Structure 1
Amino acid sequence: MPTVALMWEAKAAPGRAPELLAWARGQDLAPAAVPCERREHFTAPGERVLVITWWEGGYDAEVPELPDPPAQLSARPVHRWRFERV
């Protein structure tokens, strides 16, 4: 069965990385046509927060994506990527 991974990366406003991470963790991706197989959260220097979700389906599968965070938590637009397992 194909799997698609969605990557969501945001740079927090200065000093707001813990709040941005908490916000990202609190986002509900349900209901979805298929359940989320896995979801992980990461942080990196520069107040960056990364969320990766894995879903059953191919590259173009219709699965929910994390929304943009509140403007006060973010220093720039969110970056998003999709990858299909090969």
Structure 2
Amino acid sequence: MPATDTGIQRLAASDTGPMRSMLAMMGRAFDMLDEYTGAQPDDAYLERLLAGPQFIALAAMAGDAVVGGLAACELPKFEQARSEI
């Protein structure tokens, strides 16, 4: 069996395809496929989200396939000058 390139990739604005693959993977993993894939936003929305500084999407890749992932949002706080992930 040939070796497959693996790695972690931070998704950027141009990565709407891998983002959709990550959503489908998460939907299967959490047994919530319809919630993750049934009403996905259009590409323009995902591009803005992935380009923004307050959203982080990391995809675990095996070749071109998304095999894992993590998504986080930075939340600016109001009681102190700080943020949380």
| Structure-2-length-normalised TM-score | 0.31
Which protein is richer in strand relative to its size?
1
Structure of larger gyration radius: 2
With CA pairs under 8 Å and 6+ residues apart, which has the higher RCO, 1 or 2?
1
| Structure-1-length-normalised TM-score | 0.31
